[in-house]
Structure 1
């Protein structure tokens, strides 16, 4: 944005610049919160600290868009597969012209011109990259530096903000204001690294095999009980021998954040060992908001390497895209800074919604504790994910680690306390995995498979989103089996996860060496790789990509999933939930059986 760079230059030169006059409008409080547990107010925020203020305008017809989403994703509906175009989606969610005019007039009061503003593709978000001093005038508030006692992270936030009263019906949300989430870097989703003894695993693989059990009773190399490779996943999930096409009609995407860089040298070495046919192939890189993909071997990210190696390794030769989104909270208040410390997820969502043809399946292994994301903002992000689904994109998230707790500590010592100042005990799900318009993936281990135990699969129930219609039978059935009063008051609503996949002891190449890595951040890209293969199978028989998966998975797709009935996800000082017959909030509906799913999704009964 040219206007931002001009504004920044004025501040750096110490030149006085008018930031607009205080509004003469009466203000209406939009939100006031109690500082979340663990955060302590430090100092007044530096006046020149830069914030990307995201203003969400009211979407006109989201209810209608949701209706379209469920119809085109329901395999029993006559419109199944009739995904909407980018233009059709934008027309549905675009704000009313009155809203656009009212907000633009308000912005002009602060000398903000069109060059100073970025807009989302549907114009339902307005983004202003401005100094704190201007944000305070616009929102009639005061920003402070806040520090988290356990992590040491620092954020620039406020606990209350207001808007001119006449904008109340036009604006749904403004952030960052009250959002104290800590968009988690790799290590919060990944268990410890271990050196892989390749010789031992190779020796084991030559002398032993095991049977998977479950629906398919497949023979699997015994080494897969200690190390997961692409070959292991193909064996466990019944995809051995399937050769996808190199059609440009199909595609798969991986998101990268927080300076997690996907190293191509490591990828090539990984391919030599695990996917020889893919050697000398790579992925398409796209920068979001100035994100880079530093190829210094010492800058390779364990999360990014895991994601691209297994998603693209399973899906090869389906074309892959890796996005790197700039933005790295937290910042240090001890250093004079003009750094934007916002979570970068909204920037990526704006970018991918602006693409005419986004990848058909996208995996994300990052998230937050749901309660740290303000509900109005979480709902708007979730609505953006619905826009992808109705366009034919399968949006897939890891469900988080450390069981039903906050994902930050040992399940035995977690403090699962509500973030509303009441300090009630409650299970804490992950977001965006809790959004009902995405597919969340839990973790399993071993053969036959059980719920992963080294860090525990994230799962439970959303506190923000109502149970979607496709979950009524499966989730309702699970709840009917719980002893009366068990965990009463600790959970409700939309169930997490939807499905699962192997989530531990993945062998990846990282900074020039073989290591073992785990977490549901491994489960999500692996599952997404198989979704890309299913899209390949559909495209090869002239069918459309699957798009939003859940209505299919909870109906016809159940027959293509391996039910996991052993294990649990303890946390918050409890035993959590148990994996059991049917859906459960540990492993969802189960893990994929590719051959059976392929038969289902290419069936002539699925018309499109």
Structure 2
């Protein structure tokens, strides 16, 4: 084993006199026995370990206050975004925390020369024998063996800290956390794919058949999107996230040729490849998700650039290796401090959940984990996600904090709200993707994070024109659909209602009360037959068309549907707005929701349709909340102070 620095093994007698056990309290205790990890023998006291102490971050309780200060249009600091350095410094552990933990360790017999602090200040690290660590933490370490893989790890059932130190420590490794391996990750938000009844592409300039096939001309007409200026800022590329799905240049060129002849053949996104990712792929291997994202975004933003954040090497992206975490390696690459950032009981990427680099598996990426390699774009469109119930709550909260930090720096994060109504994907815990006995609604992740903007999907019903208005996207099973599709939405079981949407949610419940029993708070899931959390953050926040999208995939003309389509549309419009702001001497808009909810009259309410799931009709659309979509780009531009 390699060590960070040499050390002298201190006697147990020296350590035992540091602080009496009566001054210690339980800091972490494992709840329940693991069915995957089996406790084996006690660890030999002479075994060497690297002890990592995750320090409590400073000012996390003020994160919402900071974000609203730069995101709310009525604030005098609206648009005055922070630098990455200011973000890191603001949330770094306080000097008081660092001093308190170091003093405790030194008093416990650990020489100061053995202590090192990571660059982002989040960890204090030192080498020790397990006997030293046990004495410091008033605990006992055991070997644990994975019943499936046979791998081993060291952990404890609980450990104690001095009362004066507990407030300064998030958690400690090795500690009570056993490497997690939850269910296999669901594929990212994939659109519904079906062959159009008409094999020929529609007239690219006609609006007569927008109810049958949504073309770039239909999108422009629906939302009154003007022709883009030829003079664009080099610092306003639209960011698009992809993982495990890859675009084909041949598909893009076919799309340009048939629908957007003003976009030259060969136009492609700028690569920002993360941890061994690659693109494009041959046309017969092309993914519908990636092709869809670019074929919707380019007609709106061109000649603005698009940056492709393609994530993870093929082993992890294709799940050749068993991982179930999501987005952490992407966030690592945008913010170097996130690689080791501590919050909500997790420091750095999650053991057993996230990819590990260098990847020693055959064909894996052999470089180091990318940390702070790429600068975030002003807008990032994400058409992938999971359900809240798929990953530990601490994992989601730490990640949600990072979305807040990106918002502080001026980045707008938009995420597809999902394609299963109030449920999760079929087979996600239950056959219908619902929680409990198959009736409780399943909120999506990271959609329920209060610091992202969720995009739901609308559609033009048969016989409707672009002037008639849209409805919530819902397609039951049947030709041409092999699975049901309903725009995702609901209420979080993790996060409470944020202040920026409190009035809108209250009005919705008051005037359009859903006809279902509910529970209050995550601790009461399913209580009294409740189907959803009445106190949870609601989503989606906005919507755009996401059905019957005309595109090319694998060399063929097809139609697609999904919130995977609505998200790049809305993201592209926000990117265009930022372009106008830059031309006016302003800048990005960052976290969108405070302005969107404060200025709902600039958005067109969708008042027809529901999002069925879990044996119900789901939630109904209504004036003022749930599935709103921008009416005119000019109005939204005014709303965002262009």
Q: What's the TM-score once normalised by structure 1's chain length?
A: 0.75
**Count of aligned residue pairs for this structure pair:** 530
1:282 deviates by 1.9
2:418 pairs, out of 378, 382, 400, with 400
When residues 360 and 549 of structure 1 are mapped into structure 2, their CA distance, relative to the original with a 3 A threshold, is same
Determine the structure 2 residue equivalent to 1:513: 556
Determine the structure 2 residue equivalent to 1:364: 382
When residues 501 and 593 of structure 1 are mapped into structure 2, their CA distance, relative to the original with a 3 A threshold, is same
When residues 592 and 139 of structure 1 are mapped into structure 2, their CA distance, relative to the original with a 3 A threshold, is farther
Which SS does the other structure have where 2:209 is aligned? Answer: helix
1:485-520 deviation line (CA, Å, top 9, x unaligned): 733222232111100111122223222222222211
1:45-71 deviation line (CA, Å, top 9, x unaligned): 9xxxxxxx9996532112333322101
Q: How do 1:237-252 residues align onto structure 2 when only pairs under 5 Å count? A: 237-243=223-229, 245-252=231-238
Distance 2:388 2:456 in 1: 16
| C-alpha contact 1:402 1:409 (8 A) present in aligned 2 | no
Determine the structure 1 residue equivalent to 2:635: 596
1:552 deviates by 0.6
Distance 1:266 1:531 in 2: 25
When residues 391 and 415 of structure 1 are mapped into structure 2, their CA distance, relative to the original with a 3 A threshold, is closer
2:62 pairs, out of 57, 61, 64, with 64
Distance 2:85 2:222 in 1: 41
Larger deviation, residues 165-174 vs 480-489: 165-174
Determine the structure 1 residue equivalent to 2:44: none
Which SS does the other structure have where 2:192 is aligned? Answer: coil
Distance 2:157 2:261 in 1: 56
Determine the structure 1 residue equivalent to 2:192: 192
Which SS does the other structure have where 2:303 is aligned? Answer: coil
1:556-577 deviation line (CA, Å, top 9, x unaligned): 2x23211100110111122211
Determine the structure 1 residue equivalent to 2:472: 451
User: Is 2:553 the counterpart of 1:487?
Assistant: no
Determine the structure 2 residue equivalent to 1:381: 399
1:90 pairs, out of 81, 88, 91, with 88
Distance 2:488 2:152 in 1: 29
When residues 57 and 521 of structure 1 are mapped into structure 2, their CA distance, relative to the original with a 3 A threshold, is farther
Distance 1:126 1:345 in 2: 26
1:114-140 deviation line (CA, Å, top 9, x unaligned): 99x9x7x8454899xxxxxxxxx9986
> Structure 1 regions of 5+ residues with no counterpart?
5-21, 46-52, 128-136, 148-154, 210-220, 604-608
Determine the structure 2 residue equivalent to 1:549: 592
Q: How do 1:226-237 residues align onto structure 2 when only pairs under 5 Å count? A: 226-237=212-223
Give me the CA root mean square deviation.
4.5
Q: How do 1:159-174 residues align onto structure 2 when only pairs under 5 Å count? A: 165=161, 169-170=167-168, 172=170
Distance 1:193 1:138 in 2: 54
Q: How do 1:111-122 residues align onto structure 2 when only pairs under 5 Å count? A: 122=120
When residues 371 and 247 of structure 1 are mapped into structure 2, their CA distance, relative to the original with a 3 A threshold, is same
When residues 68 and 244 of structure 1 are mapped into structure 2, their CA distance, relative to the original with a 3 A threshold, is farther
Q: Which structure would you say has the larger Rg? A: 2
| C-alpha contact 1:44 1:143 (8 A) present in aligned 2 | yes
Q: How do 1:9-158 residues align onto structure 2 when only pairs under 5 Å count? A: 30=28, 32=30, 57-96=55-94, 122=120, 124=122, 142=144, 144=146
1:28 deviates by 5.2
| C-alpha contact 1:139 1:162 (8 A) present in aligned 2 | no
Q: How do 1:416-435 residues align onto structure 2 when only pairs under 5 Å count? A: 416-418=434-436, 426-435=440-449
When residues 290 and 3 of structure 1 are mapped into structure 2, their CA distance, relative to the original with a 3 A threshold, is farther
1:262 pairs, out of 247, 259, 262, with 247
1:535 pairs, out of 575, 578, 582, with 578
Distance 1:228 1:345 in 2: 30
| C-alpha contact 2:195 2:558 (8 A) present in aligned 1 | yes
User: Is 2:498 the counterpart of 1:468?
Assistant: yes
Distance 1:27 1:291 in 2: 46
| C-alpha contact 2:247 2:287 (8 A) present in aligned 1 | yes
When residues 82 and 415 of structure 1 are mapped into structure 2, their CA distance, relative to the original with a 3 A threshold, is closer
2:623 pairs, out of 581, 591, 595, with 581
Determine the structure 2 residue equivalent to 1:292: 278
When residues 196 and 577 of structure 1 are mapped into structure 2, their CA distance, relative to the original with a 3 A threshold, is same
User: Is 2:325 the counterpart of 1:343?
Assistant: yes
1:526 deviates by 1.5
Determine the structure 2 residue equivalent to 1:321: 307
When residues 161 and 314 of structure 1 are mapped into structure 2, their CA distance, relative to the original with a 3 A threshold, is farther
Distance 1:389 1:527 in 2: 17
1:81-124 deviation line (CA, Å, top 9, x unaligned): 11111111111112345766869989xx9xxx999x9x7x8454
1:444 deviates by 0.7
| C-alpha contact 1:441 1:524 (8 A) present in aligned 2 | yes
Distance 1:379 1:578 in 2: 29
| C-alpha contact 2:145 2:152 (8 A) present in aligned 1 | yes
Larger deviation, residues 245-254 vs 389-398: 245-254
| C-alpha contact 2:418 2:444 (8 A) present in aligned 1 | yes
When residues 346 and 561 of structure 1 are mapped into structure 2, their CA distance, relative to the original with a 3 A threshold, is same
Which SS does the other structure have where 2:279 is aligned? Answer: coil
When residues 114 and 193 of structure 1 are mapped into structure 2, their CA distance, relative to the original with a 3 A threshold, is farther
Determine the structure 1 residue equivalent to 2:522: none
> Structure 2 regions of 5+ residues with no counterpart?
4-11, 40-50, 126-138, 337-371, 476-484, 520-531
1:531-568 deviation line (CA, Å, top 9, x unaligned): 10111111111122111100110112x23211100110
